[in-house]
Amino acid sequence: MLKYETLIENLNSAEKERRLPALSELAELYESGKLIKPAPTDNVNNHIHTTFSFSPYSPAKAVYMAWLNGLTTAGIMDHDSIAGAGEFIKAGEILGMATTVGAELRCELSGTPFEGRRLNNPDQNSVVYLAMHGVPHQSIARVQEFLTPYREKRNIRNRKMTGNINRLLDGTGLSLDFDADVAAISEHKNGGSITERHILYALSLKIADKLGRGQPVLDLLEKLNIEVSGITRGKLLEKTNDMYEYYLLGALKSGMVEKFYIPATDECPHITEFIKLCDEVGAVSAYAYLGDVGNSVTGDKKTQAFEDAFLDELMDYLKAAGFRAVTYMPTRNTKEQLARVISLCEHHGFFQISGEDINSPFQAFVCEALKDAQFKHLITSTWALIGHEKAATGDISAGMFSKETIAKMPLLPDRVNYFKEIGTR
φ, ψ (nearest 5 deg) of residue 410: -60, -20
> Helix (H) and strand (E) counts for the chain?
16, 6
Q: How far apart are CA 258 and CA 248, in angstroms?
A: 16
Q: What is the pLDDT of residue 295?
A: 53
Closest CA to 22 of 14, 33, 10, 32: 10
Conformational region of residue 192, where left means phi above 0, alpha means psi within -120 to 50, and beta covers everything else:
beta
* Structural domain boundaries in the chain: 1-33, 159-260
Q: What is the pLDDT of residue 407?
A: 41
Q: What angle do CA 58, 195, 270 make, to 5 degrees?
A: 115
Sign of the C-alpha dihedral computed for residues 164, 167, 169 and 174 taken in this order: positive
Beta bridge partners of residue 230, listed in sequence order: none
Q: What is the pLDDT of residue 2?
A: 55
Contact (Cβ atoms closer than 8 angstroms) between residue 307 and residue 314: yes
Q: How far apart are CA 162 and CA 158, in angstroms?
A: 6
Task: Quick: pLDDT tens for 16-61.
Answer: 999 999 999 999 999 999 999 998 888 899 999 999 999 999 999 9
User: How far is C-alpha 362 from the chain's CA centre?
Assistant: 15
Q: What is the pLDDT of residue 302?
A: 64
Q: What is the pLDDT of residue 400?
A: 43
H helix or E strand, kind and range, residue 287? strand 284-288
Task: Quick: pLDDT tens for 265-278.
Answer: 999 999 999 999 99
| Distances, alpha carbon 222 to alpha carbons 113, 174, 229, 250, in Å | 40, 15, 11, 15
pTM: 0.89
Task: Quick: pLDDT tens for 340-386.
Answer: 999 999 999 999 998 888 998 988 898 888 888 888 889 888 988 88
pLDDT mean across residues, the chain: 89
Beta bridge partners of residue 74, listed in sequence order: 99
Low-confidence ranges of the chain (pLDDT < 50): 296-300, 395-420, 422-425
Beta bridge partners of residue 288, listed in sequence order: 327
CA Rg value for the chain: 21
